[in-house]
């Protein structure tokens, strides 16, 4: 179920040197019903804008007790630049929670794999899975590393790799996935990140574990009505916003 809520912003932050922005807003209804992998659609531009554009943003965390929802995003265009200027006490026009999230089965041993902005989607998943998962995160370089203390606070294992070796090991997150799978005992792999990463992980998993991916597509309505986000899958056309964004990898046409 999704709803529209005017939601009060209760905190904003810039996460380290990464430039990544965090907004925490109060919405007890969203916080009490959302699950990892779902997203919210936020109206950007404010009430005086000539046209309102909504931006889909993954939910990075939610707390039922406080009713607060955590979102994190890079500034990629006018919409997210506008969001970055918002202040505590202002109201957000939020629709959510939207989409289908990650299927979670208690007792499974899991890997959560994040690259780029995909780490915010799997951050919420790591919070729910806790010690039942290990997070494998890839960043282009050390300046982009963020949210690590949050992953650590959830009690999951954690490995980080950078493309250029400027922090920790040099290489790609797919190498970490291969090593963990070779050790054995992994039931499920969840991943969110660029399509190239999702495809490479799919090749590595190769049927050794269940594999679920969160796809990123341009979106319009966010609720399944406009067909702006349709993608071709092995079982027909799917709306990423409503049928996903999380899909079982066996359905996905990896480009
Ligand atoms: Fe409109 Fe998905 S964004 S159908």
Confidence of residue 105 (pLDDT cuts 50, 70, 90): confident
Here the tokens at position 51 are: 């046209």
Which of 241, 243, 244, 245 gets mutated to test ligand 1 (max ligand atoms within 8 A of its CB)?
A: 241
* CA pair distance 37, 129, nearest whole angstrom: 13
This prediction has a pTM of 0.93
> Could you report the per-residue pLDDT of 51-69, keeping only the tens digit for each?
567 899 999 999 999 999 9
Q: Are 164 and 157 in contact (CB under 8 A)?
A: no
Here the tokens at position 152 are: 């650590």
> Could you report the per-residue pLDDT of 114-170, keeping only the tens digit for each?
998 899 999 999 999 999 999 999 999 999 999 999 999 999 999 999 999 998 889
Q: Are 219 and 249 in contact (CB under 8 A)?
A: no
Each domain of the chain, given as residue ranges in start order, spans 3-98, 110-251
* CA pair distance 135, 64, nearest whole angstrom: 23
**Residue recorded with tokens 């071709």:** 232
- 3-98 CATH choice from 2.40.70.10, 2.40.30.10, 2.40.50.140, 1.10.443.10: 2.40.30.10
Q: How far is the CA of 44 from the centre of ligand 1 (A)?
A: 17
Question: Of 198, 177, 25, 189, which Cα lies nearest the Cα of 110?
Answer: 189
Q: Give the per-residue pLDDT at 16.
A: 80
- C-alpha count within 13 angstroms, C-beta hemisphere, residue 63: 9
Q: How far is the CA of 107 from the centre of ligand 1 (A)?
A: 34
**Residue recorded with tokens 């090749």:** 203
Protein residues with CB under 6 Å of any ligand 1 atom: 219-222, 224-229, 239, 241-242
Q: How far is the CA of 217 from the centre of ligand 1 (A)?
A: 9
CA-242 nearest atom, ligand 1: 2
Q: Residue 50: pLDDT above 80?
A: no
CA-219 nearest atom, ligand 1: 3
Q: How far is the CA of 219 from the centre of ligand 1 (A)?
A: 5
CA-221 nearest atom, ligand 1: 1
* CA pair distance 92, 79, nearest whole angstrom: 13
Q: How far is the CA of 240 from the centre of ligand 1 (A)?
A: 7
* CA pair distance 20, 143, nearest whole angstrom: 11
Q: How far is the CA of 236 from the centre of ligand 1 (A)?
A: 16
Confidence of residue 231 (pLDDT cuts 50, 70, 90): very high
CA-239 nearest atom, ligand 1: 2
Check if 3-98 and 110-251 are the same fold: no
Q: Residue 216: pLDDT above 90?
A: no
- Provide CATH code, domain 110-251: 3.40.50.80
């Amino acid at each position: 179920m999704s709803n529209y809520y005017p939601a009060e912003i209760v905190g904003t932050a810039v996460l380290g040197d990464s430039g990544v922005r965090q907004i925490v807003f109060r919405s007890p209804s969203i916080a009490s019903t959302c699950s990892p992998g779902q997203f919210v659609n936020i109206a950007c531009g404010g009430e005086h804008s000539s046209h309102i554009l909504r931006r889909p943003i993954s939910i990075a965390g939610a707390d039922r007790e406080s009713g607060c929802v955590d979102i994190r995003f890079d500034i990629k265009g006018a919409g997210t630049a506008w969001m970055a200027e918002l202040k505590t006490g202002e109201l957000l026009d939020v629709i959510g929670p939207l989409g289908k999230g990650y299927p979670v089965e208690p007792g499974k041993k899991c890997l959560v794999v994040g690259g780029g902005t995909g780490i915010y989607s799997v951050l919420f998943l790591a919070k729910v899975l806790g010690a039942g998962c290990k997070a494998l995160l890839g960043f282009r370089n050390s300046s982009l590393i963020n949210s690590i203390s949050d992953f650590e606070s959830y009690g999951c294992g954690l490995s980080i790799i950078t493309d250029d070796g400027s922090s920790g090991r040099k290489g790609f997150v797919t190498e970490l996935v291969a090593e963990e799978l070779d050790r054995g005992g992994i039931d499920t792999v969840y991943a969110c990140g660029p399509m190239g990463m999702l495809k490479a992980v799919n090749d590595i998993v190769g049927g050794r574990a269940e594999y679920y991916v969160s796809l990123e597509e341009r979106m319009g309505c966010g609720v399944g009505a406009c067909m702006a986000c349709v993608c071709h899958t092995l079982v027909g056309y799917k709306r990423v916003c409503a049928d996903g964004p999380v899909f079982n990898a066996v359905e996905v046409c990896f480009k």
